[in-house]
Chains A and B, each alone.
Chain A
Amino acid sequence: MIAILRTLHEYKDHAKKATYDEKKNEKRLKILLTNPLTYFILISIVTFVYEWLPMFIMPILRHFSWMCLIQPNNNPLAQLTAVRGLAIGGGGLTIDWNEITQYLGSPMILPGWALANVAFGFVLIIWIIVPIVYGSNVRNLRESAVGGVVSSNFTTMSLVTAFTSFACVSAVFIHTMLFYGSKIWNLLSSKANQNKSNDMHSRLMSLYAQVPDWWYLELFAPAFIIACVVCDHAGWLPWYWVLFSLFIGAIFVLPFGYVSSITGQILHNLSVYYICILIVQSLPLASSARNTYTFIALSYVFFVQTLALVQDMKLAHYLKIGPRQLFAAQCLASLTCCTFSIGIRYMYIKRNTISTTWSIFNNTKLGWNLLNDYVGFFYGKNSPNRKLLWAFVLGAALPISTWFLSRYPRLRVLRHIHWPLILITIGWMPAIVSSGALFTWLVIGLTIFFTLGKYSFHQRRIYLTSGALDLGVNLALIFINLIFYNQKTFFPLWWGNQDPSELDSCALALKVSR
């Protein structure tokens, strides 16, 4: 400590007297940290080295329920503090950047109000509402763990998060209408502002030749016809249901896209997937798996692809790449990527290689239900689930109520509450994002926002750091998976990786009712 202090103070005193050589050494470190590129490389290397711990050597860090490890047989303690419990008081932490940001993205790049919203939602829903529901013991919820992973019965948290996911859909529509309705209407109704937005990027972009609307239409029309013909001809889905599924996907694009572009958060949307499942299960399709899944893929992928393409257009807009070149790049890449990917996959199937993975959404309760339970989510033995439909009413009521209340001068704070963001972030839990992971995500995001995030210089550094962390994680993942896990090589057993289930270091937090 003294040494550090001395170096700091004496550096100040001797700075003027320092010889050229010393100065050079000081400078070197400074350059290393102030130059964005070297800083970026440094952080990436540090992350890369660190990530070997949670990914390979010490997987316990991914689900580190340290409070539970002190008293492994204490059930209330396990439910309250484990990573897959409620993670109260930081009792369960996820010390792995990959696990934290895999689905939610980096917390560092989000604006402060978005983080505050998620934090508010987390405390309200996970720390207050979930324990109340657990305590009330509806549907014998107390027999299984409070959070847990996906299983045949609802756990408390999966019941609550299914509710929030449904509520999210109506909340997004109402929120968009209330807050951005007039703006969107103006943009849609006046063709004139297409090139004359006040934004300087738009002015710079107006130099380039625009892409006429019919170019897009020319791509859309054949794709649309092919989709109808193929699905109908192969017997996967009648053509009129193809039309319907695309219609469902299309109505989600505008409100969800608008909200996600402002919050930067919900491109891959669980709620849209859920709605597709609910709709397809109520159609007269004889509950055939082929029909069901084709319907879901059509509407969900239509929705996501549109937003993804728009996102890249925005990137090109900032980089000042001409719209026509952008169009060429996207078309060419889509065509090659599709053809090649399908070819490879077909080749593997012809060789009778079977992949064991299913889509990520099947790890949620509703997705799991679709795959394992043929009755349907609202029918037969699942009919008590119909009460979840009240979520749509609640989801509509929440934004309306805060919007009205925020008109009173005293309650103006309520204007900043963003219900869609809260509901969708909570909707990822418990199976895909554990509460420990979300807690750590929030702690990192809020700490950085309140300490460094306010100033422009730091902000840029934060973005850079976030990118470097992602890079380090990605590299570590590639190395570890290719070299070790794909060769079925594992790290020798020790305390840090003895947990066989690898879902939580606390066994009680995963308890399942029989």
Chain B
Amino acid sequence: MSEDFEKDFQLVNVYTEAEMTQFEEVGGTCSNKDNPNEACCTFRSLVIGLAFVLGMSYLHQWSNFRPAGTFISSVLTIVLVYPIGKIWSKIIPYSKPFTKKEHGFILIMSNVSWMYYSTFTYATLSTLKVLELDNLNFAYYFFFVLSIQFLGFGLAGKHNSIFVLNNENSILHYKQKVLFGDFWFGQSKLFGHKICH
């Protein structure tokens, strides 16, 4: 199955534009090979992901009531998640090695939390503060924010084919991707060196 697939990819590669190929070379991290059986949505990734979402939400809201705000950006998340995942796979008995896709899964979960914070500081905050002045009911408050969070899903699904499947729009999140890839790549290389000496 996977061999067949690689053959396919070779064929395609002959016809891809120069830009596209260059993009592959430059990245080197947007891997052309994929193992569809690699674990992604596991108990481990769910627990770590949820912990990060909760922790980040708490920190962001807490710091909103402090003189100086702090935040956890996605770069920091990438770096923090990795050792936690590794330690989990060491400590918990019978657990499989921490995979790249699990790491990605956690990153996407925490990215939602990061976007909530950034949208919040950019726009929602003033609205909520104005609404808070008329002694609002918790149910209203809750459902209002929940609805504006979930409204995006309808349009996102609609625009999926335009943005995601179109290879021209490659810059988005590219930095994160490279960083992510290098983290995994670097790790193996570091251990490789250690073995050599």
Residues of A within 8 A of B (CB): 24, 31, 35-38, 40, 106, 109-111, 183-184, 187-188, 193-195, 197-204, 207-208, 211, 213, 215-217, 219-224, 226-227, 230-231, 233-234, 236, 246, 250, 253-254, 257-258, 260-264, 268, 273, 289-290, 293-294, 296-298, 300-302, 304-306, 308-322, 325-326, 328-342, 344-346, 348-349, 353-355, 357-362, 371, 456, 459-460, 463-464, 466-467, 470-471, 474-475, 477-478, 480-482, 485-486, 488
Q: What residues on B are CB-neighbors of A262 within 8 Å? A: 168-169, 171
> In the complex where A109-B175, A342-B145 touch, is A337 in contact with B116 (Cβ < 8 A)?
yes
A213/B157 in contact, CB under 8 A = yes
Q: List 26 A-B contacts (CB under 8 A).
A: A36-B185, A40-B182, A109-B171, A111-B171, A193-B165, A199-B167, A200-B12, A208-B36, A216-B157, A230-B147, A290-B130, A304-B122, A312-B112, A313-B160, A313-B163, A314-B169, A330-B112, A330-B153, A333-B111, A334-B150, A353-B65, A359-B125, A456-B26, A463-B174, A474-B72, A482-B70
B50 within 8 A of A: yes
A interface secondary structure, majority: helix
A320/B131 in contact, CB under 8 A = no
Q: What is the 8 Å Cβ interface bit string for chain B, positions 47-91, against chain A (1 contact, 0 not)?
A: 001100110111011111111111111011001000000000000
> In the complex where A268-B122, A313-B164, A337-B113 touch, is A215 in contact with B157 (Cβ < 8 A)?
yes
**One of A208, A319, A330, A359 near B123 (C-beta < 8 A):** A359
- The chain A residue sitting closest to B25, CB to CB, is A456
Q: How far is the CB of A316 from chain B (nearest CB, A)?
A: 6
Question: How many residues from B make CB contacts under 8 Å with A?
Answer: 128
Q: What residues on A are CB-neighbors of B25 within 8 Å? A: 456
B127 within 8 A of A: yes
Q: What residues on B are CB-neighbors of A217 within 8 Å? A: 154, 157
Q: What residues on A are CB-neighbors of B176 within 8 Å? A: 315, 467
Q: How far is the CB of A255 from chain B (nearest CB, A)?
A: 11
Q: What residues on A are CB-neighbors of B40 within 8 Å? A: 321-322, 325
**One of A213, A261, A358 near B126 (C-beta < 8 A):** A358
B123/A464 in contact, CB under 8 A = no
Residues of B within 8 A of A (CB): 5, 8-9, 12-13, 15-16, 20, 22, 24-32, 34, 36, 40-41, 46, 49-50, 53-54, 56-58, 60-73, 75-76, 79, 100-101, 104-105, 107-113, 115-116, 118-132, 134, 136-138, 140-169, 171-180, 182-183, 185-187, 189-190, 193, 197
Q: What residues on B are CB-neighbors of A183 within 8 Å? A: 168
